[in-house]
Every structure is written in structure tokens, then in C-alpha cells.
């Protein structure tokens, strides 16, 4: 299908709202900001950021985003309709939504008569008024509205007439998108297909190809239909696809399918299914190449182990075992692969002999401004070193500063600012006291001098960090500007308990730039320490590079 004629599907990411409902997932405001910018880069047109009326942290998030706005995407706050028998304009929740300062807002309301009567304890008519007033009020305040019809499919099955009334009310009030939600996740594709067809026929915009973008051009009098599904029957992706084939034009989902209970529709599967299998257009080809990296980036930021067996983006998604199979796949990949892994930024893996891609290394070097030749022995040396380290548990996807240092070492360009000779840490839990003290002693060689320093901290890593900074401060005063902005620890092979290998990621900053370094060790302290040391070293490298550039 040629690109110009592919019908467009509008993606709506709710990782930062519905995704964070996943049990065990919690994110800071900084995490949310990083993810939002990454999704923007991936080309997601709508990004749901949170529910400022219900969560004070989300208010902060929208404010901070105003200072450092997204490039392309529309950031959208989420909120319920007003409460029964109140004025929309008096509703503090809605004031919080307006204060988020966005162009678009998403309002969810009840579709299922049972929920209106038992949950809201109000009348069916009042629920319609709540939908109408809320949308009209937000439009009067200059907002454009997406309406999420909660429990749509269950509601429709119980009382189709009332369910249709709710979305007709939303449409009449001016909502531009009507999103049908399978909130409990129990609906099967043939039901989705049938019910979405009815809605599209009765109220939806049936234009085959959108000639106007529903983001940039205000407002068709006929709303478009969207779909929001959950995975409780392992059908979230299939249901979203069924809805699109029945005429829906917006798909809501989350990166890696994160979400409450069994999760939401997984955008990492939906996007390639829509784009590579069904010929719809969602994001650019180039952005699709970032899919695997984005999936892993998000899992790193929320500190959940990536699912190796995830479709399209998992580490095993294109893994091949066995000799004949492998040579067949190398002769003609389509015999054993449903797509080319590179289309989604993943790669084929031969399980017996781990094969890291030379092109990956070349591409990464290029992002650091280093042009490598693939026939250069140095390039092969870097690849080998990277593979060795990856098999020990290093992962350079989220630690580009460490990868840069590795590359400089291999090219003989690594500048040695200092060398840690050894350290000693003491931790005590003193009888009767609740907190422990940590004392670190460190020996560092700088410019031929051996420096011995000691410092305390409220943990062994903090004590080591303080001692190292103290030792280096006289030589490199700019270290005072560096700060550790994030620090994450992941236990690899978790089922070996406290003896397992540890991977530490440290993010450092100097006020203008941020960079991430990695350490891996069976010792949690040493893994953390490696990353801290490389973080300081890379900061110095950036400093002296900038100084050199200024002199030129």
C-alpha cells in the first residue's frame, strides 16, 4: 500500500495514566517527563499525562511540561464528568484540568446504567446532564474534548439504548472523539467488531480516509470513534484491531501493555500490527525503527524487567534455535520470521552463538560523532568487548555514557582523569539505634599523586561518592556542579536471591546535560560504585570537550 493513501490511525498513549495503575509500578514526576518526551519522539500524537484533579503529583507534571513542552504531541489530562447535581464551573477537579493548560482534555463518563444507579447513585438523566455540562463547559473554556465511554461494551450489552444515548449526548455537546472502553477487559473480538460497527453506523464519522487531521483542524460536526481495551481475556490487542477494522480511528494503549490487573492494549504490538500487517499509517517508518528501544527505555525508567518474550520488541521475539533452522532463516528470513526485525528496531538472535549486530555499533558510534569503518579491526574489537560485557549483564541501551567510554577506550582515546586504587567501607547498625552509619575510605591516583580521603554518608554508596568527590575536588573543581540525578538498581537472575548479579544505572547531570552510566557486579556496592565513577569521569570528559570546543 502506498504511504500517501494509507488510512491514518491516531494513537493515544496512556502509559502515564492508565499504565501507572499497574500493581508494582510507580513513577516520579521526572520519570513521567522523560517518558513523555520519548513518546513524543516516537510520534505518538496524543499522550495522556495523568489526572490532575485526583493526584497532586500530576498537577506538578503538567506545570513542568509547560516549561519544557513536547515538540509534536498533544499532552492530555484526564478527568471524570462533574459530580451529580453540581455546576461544572464549580467543580474543583475541572479547574485543575483547565490549569493544566492543554489544548485537549479527556473526560470519562458512565455508559452502563448499572454503574450510574449503583455506583454514582444518581438517575440516568442526571448522568446524561453530567456528560453534557462537563463537555460544554470545557469547550466554553477553549478546550477540545475526547470522550471516554467507560464500561462501554458491558453497558451496551445490558442496555444498548441508554449506552448509545450517553455517547450521542457527548457528541452533541461537542466531543470530537468518542472512545469506546472495554474497562473490565471481558469482551471478545467478534463482539467488539459487531458493536463498533453499530456505533460507527449510527454516530461515527465514516469517511474512509480522513482528509482533515482531527488534531490540527477544528472540528468536524461528526465525531470519530476510538477504542480503549484491557487484556483480561488476553484480547486487548485483538479487540483494538477488530475495532479499527470496524471503523474506529483512534487506538488507546500503553507501552509494553502496562496497566491495571492484566494490562492495557500493548502499543508495541498494536503499532506494527496496524502498520506492517494492515497497511494503516500511525508513525513514520523511521519512528517505527525506535519501537524496541522505546519499549526498553520505558521499562528501564519504571524499573521493571523487560519481557524477553514480548511480541515484536522482546529479546526473544526473533531468536532462533537449532542448526538447520538457523541456516534456513539466514538464506531466506521470511521462511521463519513474520516480519523483518529491523522494521521495529529489533534484531535476529541466534540463540546458540550470541550475535550482536555490527550495524548497531556503527549506528551508536555515529550518535556519538564517531565514524567507524565496519572493516576496521577496532570496530570488531569494540563489538567483541560489548558482547562480552553484555553477556555479563551490562546493557548499553540505557547507558550511552558508559558505551561512549567503552568506545573511547577501544579507540585509545580515553583520557584518564583519575584512577581508583581501592576503597574500604564500614557500615554499622548500632545497638538501640534505628539508622546505620557508613564510613568510606578511598585511595585515588590523580596526576601521579596518591590521594587518601574518608567521608561519611547515609549509605555505603553515598559515603563512597562523597569520599571520591572530596579526593578529586582540588584537581577538578567543576565536580562541584555535577549531581547524581537518578540511581536505579536491578537484580539480574532475581531467583538467586541476594547472591544474584546487580546492575546499577546512575544518571548524572551538570545543569545543562544529563548522562547515564552503568555498573554490573555480584556485589551491589561495587556495581553502584562503577557507575558512579564512570558518571564523574564522563562529566569531566564533557567539560573538557566543551572547553576545547570554545577555544576553537
Hey, which residues between 403 and 432 contact a second copy (CB under 8 A)?
Answer: 420-432
C-alpha 351: how far from its chain's center?
27
Q: Is 397 in the site for a second copy (CB under 8 A)?
A: yes
Q: Is 444 in the site for a second copy (CB under 8 A)?
A: no
Say which residues have a Cβ less than 8 Å from residue 202's Cβ, sequence separation at least 6.
164
Q: Which is nearer to a second copy, 58 or 74 (CB)?
A: 58
Q: Which is nearer to a second copy, 126 or 232 (CB)?
A: 232
Which residues 161-190 are close enough to bind a second copy by CB under 8 A? 183-186, 188-190
Q: Which is nearer to a second copy, 196 or 425 (CB)?
A: 425
Q: Which is nearer to a second copy, 309 or 366 (CB)?
A: 309
Q: Is 266 in the site for a second copy (CB under 8 A)?
A: yes
Q: Which is nearer to a second copy, 128 or 244 (CB)?
A: 244
DSSP-derived secondary structure for 123-166: -HHHHHHHHHHHHHHHHHTT-EEEEEEETHHHHHHH-HHHHHHH
Cell of 244: 479499527
C-alpha 157: how far from its chain's center?
34
Burial 353-383 (b: 16+ CB within 10 A, else e): eeebeeeebbebbeeeeeebeeeeeebeebb
Q: Is 338 in the site for a second copy (CB under 8 A)?
A: yes
Q: Which is nearer to a second copy, 177 or 312 (CB)?
A: 312
Q: Is 312 in the site for a second copy (CB under 8 A)?
A: yes
Q: Which is nearer to a second copy, 190 or 374 (CB)?
A: 190
Q: How far apart are CA 114 and CA 111, in angstroms?
A: 9
Which residues 272-311 are close enough to bind a second copy by CB under 8 A? 272-273, 277-278, 303, 305, 308-311
Q: Which is nearer to a second copy, 250 or 524 (CB)?
A: 524
Q: Which is nearer to a second copy, 188 or 446 (CB)?
A: 188
**CB under 8 A: which stretch of 211-219, 292-300, 337-345, 542-550 binds a second copy?**
337-345
- Per CB under 8 A, the list member of 24, 92, 377, 412 interacting with a second copy is 24
Q: Which is nearer to a second copy, 137 or 418 (CB)?
A: 418
Sole residue written with cell 558482547? 387
Draw the binding track, 34-63, toward a second copy (x: CB under 8 A; -: no contact). ------------------------------
- Per CB under 8 A, the list member of 260, 300, 453, 534 interacting with a second copy is 260
Which residues 346-365 are close enough to bind a second copy by CB under 8 A? 351
Draw the binding track, 479-518, toward a second copy (x: CB under 8 A; -: no contact). ----xxxxxxxxxxxxxxxxxx-x---xx-----------
From the list 44, 22, 39, the residue with the least C-alpha distance to 251 is 44
Q: Which is nearer to a second copy, 43 or 186 (CB)?
A: 186
Q: Is 367 in the site for a second copy (CB under 8 A)?
A: no
From the list 546, 539, 405, 548, the residue with the least C-alpha distance to 479 is 539
Considering the complex, what minimum distance in angstroms separates the CB of residue 182 from a second copy?
Answer: 9
Q: Which is nearer to a second copy, 43 or 459 (CB)?
A: 459
Number of residues counted as binding a second copy (CB under 8 A) = 121
Q: Which is nearer to a second copy, 142 or 497 (CB)?
A: 497
- Per CB under 8 A, the list member of 83, 443, 470, 543 interacting with a second copy is 443
Q: How far apart are CA 514 and CA 90, in angstroms?
A: 42
Residues recorded for the chain: 552
Draw the binding track, 67-86, toward a second copy (x: CB under 8 A; -: no contact). --------------------
DSSP-derived secondary structure for 204-237: S---SS-SS-TTTS---SSPEEEEEEB-TTS-HH
- Per CB under 8 A, the list member of 209, 217, 391, 436 interacting with a second copy is 436
Sole residue written with cell 584512577? 419
Q: List Cα–Cα distances, 134 to 54, 82, 144, 204, in angstroms.
A: 16, 6, 12, 21
Sole residue written with cell 570528559? 541
Q: List Cα–Cα distances, 513 to 383, 509, 546, in angstroms.
A: 27, 6, 12
Q: How far apart are CA 503 and CA 450, in angstroms?
A: 29
Which residues 221-250 are close enough to bind a second copy by CB under 8 A? 231-235, 237-238, 241-242, 245
Q: Is 30 in the site for a second copy (CB under 8 A)?
A: yes
Draw the binding track, 103-142, toward a second copy (x: CB under 8 A; -: no contact). ---------x-xx--xx-----------------------
Q: List Cα–Cα distances, 279 to 6, 9, 260, in angstroms.
A: 6, 10, 30
DSSP-derived secondary structure for 296-364: HHHHHHTT----TT-TTTSTTTTEE-SHHHHHHHHH-GGGT-SS-GGGGT---EESSS----HHHHHHH
Q: Is 521 in the site for a second copy (CB under 8 A)?
A: yes
Sole residue written with cell 502509559? 15
3-state secondary structure of 510: coil
**CB under 8 A: which stretch of 35-43, 135-143, 169-177, 395-403 binds a second copy?**
395-403
Q: Is 386 in the site for a second copy (CB under 8 A)?
A: no
Q: Is 330 in the site for a second copy (CB under 8 A)?
A: no
Structural contact between residues 415 and 549, judged by C-beta atoms closer than 8 angstroms: no
Q: Is 89 in the site for a second copy (CB under 8 A)?
A: no
Q: Which is nearer to a second copy, 190 or 201 (CB)?
A: 190
Phi-psi label, residue 312: left if phi above 0, alpha if psi -120 to 50, beta otherwise? left
C-alpha 380: how far from its chain's center?
32
Considering the complex, what minimum distance in angstroms separates the CB of residue 128 from a second copy?
Answer: 20
**CB under 8 A: which stretch of 75-83, 133-141, 312-320, 400-408 binds a second copy?**
312-320
Amino acid at each position: 500500500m502506498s504511504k500517501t493513501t494509507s488510512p491514518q490511525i491516531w494513537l493515544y498513549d496512556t502509559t502515564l495514566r492508565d499504565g501507572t495503575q499497574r500493581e508494582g509500578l510507580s513513577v516520579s514526576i521526572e520519570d513521567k517527563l522523560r517518558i513523555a518526551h520519548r513518546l513524543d519522539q516516537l510520534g505518538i500524537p496524543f499522550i495522556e499525562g495523568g489526572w490532575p484533579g485526583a493526584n497532586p503529583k500530576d498537577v506538578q507534571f503538567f506545570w513542568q511540561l509547560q516549561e519544557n513542552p513536547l515538540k509534536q504531541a498533544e499532552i492530555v489530562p484526564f478527568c471524570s464528568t462533574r459530580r451529580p447535581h453540581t455546576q461544572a464551573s464549580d467543580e474543583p477537579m475541572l479547574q485543575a484540568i483547565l490549569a493544566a493548560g492543554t489544548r485537549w482534555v479527556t473526560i470519562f463518563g458512565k455508559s452502563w446504567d448499572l454503574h450510574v444507579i449503583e455506583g454514582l447513585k444518581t438517575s440516568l438523566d442526571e448522568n446524561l446532564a453530567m456528560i453534557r455540562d462537563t463537555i460544554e463547559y470545557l469547550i466554553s473554556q477553549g478546550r477540545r474534548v475526547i470522550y471516554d465511554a467507560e464500561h462501554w461494551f458491558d453497558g451496551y450489552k445490558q442496555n444498548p439504548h441508554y449506552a448509545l444515548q450517553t455517547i450521542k449526548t457527548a457528541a452533541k455537546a461537542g466531543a470530537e472523539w468518542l472512545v469506546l472502553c472495554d474497562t473490565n477487559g471481558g469482551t471478545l473480538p467478534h463482539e467488539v467488531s459487531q458493536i463498533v460497527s453499530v456505533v460507527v453506523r449510527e454516530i461515527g464519522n465514516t469517511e474512509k480516509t480522513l482528509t482533515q487531521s482531527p488534531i490540527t483542524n477544528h472540528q468536524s460536526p461528526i465525531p470519530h470513534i476510538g477504542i480503549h481495551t484491557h487484556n483480561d481475556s488476553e484480547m486487548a490487542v485483538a479487540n483494538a484491531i477488530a475495532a479499527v477494522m470496524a471503523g474506529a480511528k483512534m487506538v488507546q494503549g500503553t507501552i509494553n501493555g502496562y496497566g491495571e490487573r492484566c494490562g492495557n492494549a500493548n502499543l508495541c504490538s498494536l503499532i506494527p500490527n496496524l502498520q506492517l500487517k494492515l497497511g494503516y499509517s500511525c508513525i513514520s517508518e523511521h519512528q517505527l525503527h525506535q519501537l524496541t528501544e522505546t519499549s526498553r527505555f520505558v521499562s528501564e525508567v519504571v524499573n521493571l524487567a523487560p519481557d524477553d518474550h514480548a511480541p515484536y520488541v522482546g529479546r526473544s521475539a526473533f531468536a532462533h534455535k537449532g542448526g538447520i533452522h538457523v541456516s534456513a532463516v539466514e538464506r531466506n528470513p521470511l521462511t521463519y520470521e513474520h516480519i523483518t526485525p529491523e522494521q521495529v528496531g529489533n534484531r535476529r538472535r541466534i540463540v546458540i552463538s550470541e550475535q550482536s549486530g555490527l550495524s548497531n555499533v556503527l549506528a551508536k558510534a555515529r550518535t556519538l560523532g564517531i565514524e567507524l569503518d565496519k572493516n576496521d579491526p577496532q570496530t570488531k574489537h569494540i563489538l567483541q568487548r560489548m558482547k562480552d560485557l553484555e553477556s555479563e549483564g551490562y546493557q548499553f541501551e540505557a547507558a550511552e555514557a558508559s558505551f561512549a567510554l567503552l568506545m573511547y577506550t577501544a579507540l585509545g582515546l580515553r583520557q584518564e582523569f583519575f584512577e581508583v586504587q581501592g576503597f574500604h567501607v564500614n557500615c554499622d547498625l548500632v545497638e538501640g539505634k534505628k539508622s546505620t552509619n557508613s564510613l568510606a575510605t578511598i585511595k585515588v591516583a590523580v596526576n601521579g599523586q596518591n590521594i587518601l580521603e574518608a567521608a561519611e554518608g547515609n549509605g555505603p554508596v553515598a559515603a563512597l561518592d562523597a569520599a571520591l568527590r572530596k579526593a578529586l575536588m582540588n584537581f577538578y573543581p567543576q565536580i562541584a556542579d555535577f549531581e547524581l540525578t537518578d540511581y536505579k538498581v536491578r537484580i539480574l537472575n532475581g531467583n538467586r536471591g541476594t547472591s544474584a548479579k546487580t546492575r546499577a544505572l546512575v544518571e548524572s547531570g551538570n545543569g545543562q546535560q544529563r548522562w547515564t552510566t552503568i555498573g554490573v557486579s555480584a556485589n551491589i556496592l561495587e556495581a553502584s560504585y562503577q557507575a558512579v565513577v564512570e558518571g564523574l569521569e564522563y562529566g569531566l570528559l564533557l567539560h573538557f570537550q566543551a572547553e576545547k570546543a570554545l577555544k576553537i
